[in-house]
Each structure stands twice: as structure tokens, then as C-alpha cells.
Chain A
Amino acid sequence: MNTEYREVITRAMEYGGILDAMLALQEKDGYLTGEAVEALGKAFNMFPSQVYDTATFYSMLKFEPQSITEILICRGAPCHVAGSVEVIVAIEKEIGIKIGEKTEDGRYSFDYTECLGQCQAAPAVLVNGKLHTNVTPEGITVLLRKGGPEE
């Protein structure tokens, strides 16, 4: 078993549970690799199939490499009321795909997420996991233009 994976899992188990370990492994590789799943199985005394059984339930966990820039916009009613539709239109225009799609070059993916619990500052958008609140169509366009992957 890859010692690096084991270390990540051991550390996560000190402070949390199996989902913490999965998220930590995902943080490392960008998604849950087959090796990571095997390491989880060993650590938690589960078959790899059982690890998949659990992991595939949760929308934050991924099983294949992700686009360089992942954009997620909140679908919650408070964000809708605050004008998320206009922001969606602006993002679609800027990156040239519809919501729910990925660009062919693997640079962008754009999708919905459920309420992020930031409804006091709606609409809310996640760009590679980083939270942006009170987003406007102009603001998001500027952000995406200047933003590389790490933005």
C-alpha cells in the first residue's frame, strides 16, 4: 500500500471519519484514485467495492480527473431570488458552454451546487472550491477573465 496514502488517511482519522479521509485524499490527487480507494479499504477494513458504495453516494467526491476550473453556482431559492439566473447567463457567455457541460479542452466545467449556507450574501458561486458571494454578472466575468486555475 502506498505509504503516502496511508499517511493521509492516518492523519484524517485522528481528527475525523471516513469522509474526512476521502476528502483529504481527494485534496491530494484532485479525485479519488483507485489506489486511494484500496488504501481506504485497508484502513477501514472494507472491500474496495464497499468503499465505492459509500463514496459514490456523496456529491463532493469525484472519481475521475476534474476540469482545471470548476465553477459551481448555487441553485437555492434565495440565490435564485437574488439574481443567480443573470449570473448563469454571464458565465455561459464567458466560457462558451451551457450549465451542466464541460469545455472540450477540459479547461472549464460549469454546474449547479445546492444551497451553500451563504444565503445572506446571495448569489453564491464556488470557483475551484473557493467561495464567492454577492456575485454579479459583471463581477464574475471579470473574475473569470483574470482568473487562472488558482483564482
Chain B
Amino acid sequence: MEELRITLRNAGKINPELIEDYIKVGGYTALKKARETEREQLINMLEQSGKLRGRGGAGFNTGLKWSGAFKAKGAIKYVVCNADEGEPGTYKDRMIIESDPHTILEGILIGAYAIDAKECYIYCRGEYENSIRILRKAIAQAEEKGLCGDVKIRVHSGAGSYVCGEETALLNSLEGKRAEPRLKPPFPTVAGFNAKPTVVNNVETFAAVPAVVEKGADWFCSIGAEQYPGTKVFSLSGDITNKGCFEAATNVKLRDIIDEFGGGVANGKQLKAVQLGGSSCGFLKPEQLDTQVDLDSMREIGGSLGSGALLVIDDSHNMVDILVGMAKFFNHESCGKCTPCREGTLRVAELIEKIAAGNGSSQDLEEIKLLSDYMNMSAFCALGQSATTAITSAMALFPEDFSAKIAKEV
């Protein structure tokens, strides 16, 4: 099986630090084409027929988001690129940035034209020093070539906070505040950065935009799943032979990504579980893998596509041991704004650690379920709401791992 590359189409083929290389392979022609198109028509193309859905996890229709910001009142509007990439197991945005930064800039500039924004920000996680450097260099080159026109793009560094990936927390961070999520509505398209209409999209979403504009909506819609057309970049990790990023049409089966691109489970071991979407998502069992990877199909089988992080786990692991780090991750990254998440993630982490150490009881499991229900219902943002998804999913799919840990109980 071959990879189908849209956002990674230039990866490895051009020098990411040379704008000339990007231009030589047709770069920035989509921007020109976009600027020659009526704004409404351009947005409509993405919205109605393009169906480019956000690649950051939630899968919202990009054209619809842009049209919201386009129609919103106000002379000042912003475009923000979310390069915070903090979901454990995810490194696809870094790959796209470091192999082809200009395709992202081109996507951002098309977005800026579409909603008539003059200022754009790329919020990049602080740990990605190299990505930040590459982006800033690319921006300088694009400015020098006059491609930005009167639009300014700046890269702002994060400083080690996962919740900044949540778009409203990101906007608070950009404004120089603590990155606590905001109440929605109002949505960023109406009141985002500095309370002005703002489009926030993921790196991979922006990277797909030039191809959609250049080759058209029909072309894009002919690829992949009907309701989630195009491709998705997956970042493979764990007990898999080939670790790395692979881009595939969204109607490819999850098993094929693991076996064909990933080369199957490493060291001849047996597959035990797969976690698609990162630590905030549930697990899947080997028998569920013959499913299309698009967002809706994954949802139907109780999984999620999320960021496209694909963690493969072989049968030498007890799931409880893997869950300890995940529970602590959410506790560490909880912003502390709301009690269910701030206290809930702490209690859940304590309980899981206790069980993993062999000191747990079946009552502890019941308590985790209860806490999880509370957090699901009452946490302020998706971080708290999904902090226990992996745990409850493992409880349902691998009860034997938990019983093995609490076996001492009489």
C-alpha cells in the first residue's frame, strides 16, 4: 500500500529552509489563485464542497469556521495557527513544520485573505525550538519575496503547558495571560484574540488548504471517506516496527496503517491494544482494527481519530502500568480553574498508582468510575472531560489486567 501525501507532499523532496525550493514545486500559486477569487466564493468552496475538517482533533468544518469569522462584525480580525501539539504520542505537526513550513504559511495567508485579517499568529509549543526557528526563517523569506503583502505573521512560543492547545486557552496565552480555557460561546470566530473575530486552525489543517485551493473541491472530496475527505497524518509510536509519520487517505483501514506502514508489531510479539488520538482517547482491541480511520467511523466503534497519534501496545504490558503516567499527565496539565478536574485528576492518579503498585481494591475501581462520571459531566473543558477516557476504556476492554493487580484482595 502506498502513502497518499497531501500535507506531506514535499517532505523530503525540498529543502524546508529554502523558499525557492517550495516555489519551484508550485508553492504559493494557490495563494495567488485564492487572492484572485472572491472571498465568499473561496470560503464557500472549502465549506460546501471541500469539507476540509479540522485536523486538530475536533473535526469541525474549516470553511464553516472561516465563514463565521468572515461574517462576524469588526474591522480587525485574526488568524491563529495552533502548533501547540502536546497530546502525548503526537508529533505530526512538528514533522510538517520541519519538512515544509511554507505550505503552512501559504495556508495561513489564504485564511488571512479569506476573512480579511492582517495579523496572524502561530502559537508553537516551547519545546519545539527547532520548529520555531524554521517557521521564523520561513516567514522572513516569504516577507522578503513580498508574498505576505500587508499581512503580518508572527510565531509565539509556548512555555510548557498542554492546555494551551485548547483554542481559548491558547488565545489567553497569546494575550499574555494564564492559559485557562474560556467559556464558549462566544466562539473565537466571534470574539477570539483580543475579543476580535479569530480563526484558529491546526497546523495540518492549514497545510492542506493550498492543495484544496489549487486542485479544487471535487478533487479533494474524491479522496478518502465521504464525510471526512482527504488524508490524515498519523504519528506511530510504541511497540511497532516502523515509527514515524505516515499520511493516508481517510478511508484506509486502521489495520493497514499498522501493518503496511508500521510494519506490524515489533519483535514478533502479539498485538494487545491500540490507542488512536493520544492519551485523551480510548483503546481499541485487535479485532476492531478493520475499520476506516476517518473520524466518524472511529467514533462509531468507541474510539477517536483525535490528533492521529497511534500508540501500539504489545501483550507484554499490563495496561494499568501504562495508565499511571497518563493519569499523572492530566493531573499535571489540569489548569486548576475548575474543581472537578483539579481535584478529580489528582484523586484518579492516586488511585491508579495505588492499583498499579498492587495495593488497590475493587472499591478503588468503583471510585474511579464514579469520579470519571462526575468529571465527564461537570469539568469545564475537554481536558477534564476526557482525562479518564483511557482509564475507563481500559477497564472495559482489559478487566483482567486490573484483576491481576488487585488479585491479593480476598
Q: Which residues of A contact B (CB under 8 A)?
A: 15-20, 22-23, 44, 46, 53-54, 57-61, 75-78, 80-82, 112-122
Surface stretch bound by A, among B58-66, B125-133, B289-297, B365-373: B125-133
Given contacts A17-B176, A80-B321, contact A59 B159 (CB under 8 A): yes
> What is the bound-complex CA distance between A76 and B279, given in angstroms?
8
B155 and A15 within 8 A (CB):
yes
B89 and A76 within 8 A (CB):
yes
B94 touches which one: A19, A114, A117 (CB < 8 A)?
Answer: A117
A19 and B325 within 8 A (CB):
no
8 closest A-B pairs by CB: A78-B237, A58-B159, A60-B160, A115-B88, A76-B88, A119-B237, A59-B160, A120-B243
B159 touches which one: A60, A75, A78, A117 (CB < 8 A)?
Answer: A60
> What is the bound-complex CA distance between A119 and B85, given in angstroms?
12
Contacts of A20 in B (CB 8 A): 156-157
Q: Please, could you name 9 A-B residue pairs with CB atoms under 8 Å apart, sorted by A?
A: A17-B157, A19-B159, A23-B159, A54-B178, A75-B328, A76-B329, A78-B238, A117-B85, A119-B309
Q: Return A30 CB to nearest CB of chain B, in Å.
A: 15
B91 and A118 within 8 A (CB):
yes
Contacts of B325 in A (CB 8 A): 75-77, 80
Q: Which residues of B contact A (CB under 8 A)?
A: 85-91, 94, 125-128, 136, 154-162, 173-174, 176-179, 235-239, 243-245, 275, 279, 309, 311, 313, 317, 321-322, 325-326, 328-329, 332-333, 335
Q: Return A51 CB to nearest CB of chain B, in Å.
A: 9
> What is the bound-complex CA distance between A77 and B159, given in angstroms?
21
A61 touches which one: B91, B159, B238, B245 (CB < 8 A)?
Answer: B159
> What is the bound-complex CA distance between A115 and B84, given in angstroms?
12
Given contacts A18-B176, A57-B178, A76-B279, contact A81 B329 (CB under 8 A): no
A78 and B89 within 8 A (CB):
yes
Contacts of B237 in A (CB 8 A): 78, 81-82, 119-120, 122
Given contacts A54-B178, A82-B238, contact A77 B311 (CB under 8 A): yes
> What is the bound-complex CA distance between A22 and B156, given in angstroms?
12
> What is the bound-complex CA distance between A70 and B156, given in angstroms?
25
Q: Return A13 CB to nearest CB of chain B, in Å.
A: 10
B158 touches which one: A53, A58, A78, A116 (CB < 8 A)?
Answer: A58
- What number of A-B contacts does a CB cutoff of 8 Å give? 131
Q: Return A44 CB to nearest CB of chain B, in Å.
A: 6
CB-CB nearest in chain A for B127: A116
Given contacts A76-B89, A120-B236, contact A59 B243 (CB under 8 A): no
Contacts of B173 in A (CB 8 A): 19
A114 and B332 within 8 A (CB):
yes
> What is the bound-complex CA distance between A79 and B340, given in angstroms?
28
A16 and B159 within 8 A (CB):
no
A54 touches which one: B89, B158, B177 (CB < 8 A)?
Answer: B177
B176 and A57 within 8 A (CB):
no
B161 touches which one: A17, A59, A76, A78 (CB < 8 A)?
Answer: A59
Contacts of B321 in A (CB 8 A): 80
Q: Return A37 CB to nearest CB of chain B, in Å.
A: 13
Contacts of A82 in B (CB 8 A): 237-238
B127 and A77 within 8 A (CB):
no
Contacts of A22 in B (CB 8 A): 159
> What is the bound-complex CA distance between A61 and B161, given in angstroms?
11
Q: Return B386 CB to nearest CB of chain A, in Å.
A: 15
A77 touches which one: B125, B154, B322, B335 (CB < 8 A)?
Answer: B322
CB-CB nearest in chain A for B93: A117
> What is the bound-complex CA distance between A77 and B330, given in angstroms?
12
> What is the bound-complex CA distance between A78 and B126, given in angstroms?
20
B88 and A54 within 8 A (CB):
no
Contacts of A77 in B (CB 8 A): 88-89, 238, 275, 279, 311, 322, 325-326
B90 and A115 within 8 A (CB):
yes
Q: Return A101 CB to nearest CB of chain B, in Å.
A: 16
Contacts of B157 in A (CB 8 A): 16-17, 19-20, 23
Given contacts A78-B237, A78-B238, A81-B322, contact A119 B91 (CB under 8 A): yes
> What is the bound-complex CA distance between A16 and B155, given in angstroms?
6
Q: Return A76 CB to nearest CB of chain B, in Å.
A: 4
A120 and B91 within 8 A (CB):
yes
Contacts of B158 in A (CB 8 A): 19, 58
A15 and B244 within 8 A (CB):
no
Q: Return B313 CB to nearest CB of chain A, in Å.
A: 6
Q: Return B303 CB to nearest CB of chain A, in Å.
A: 16
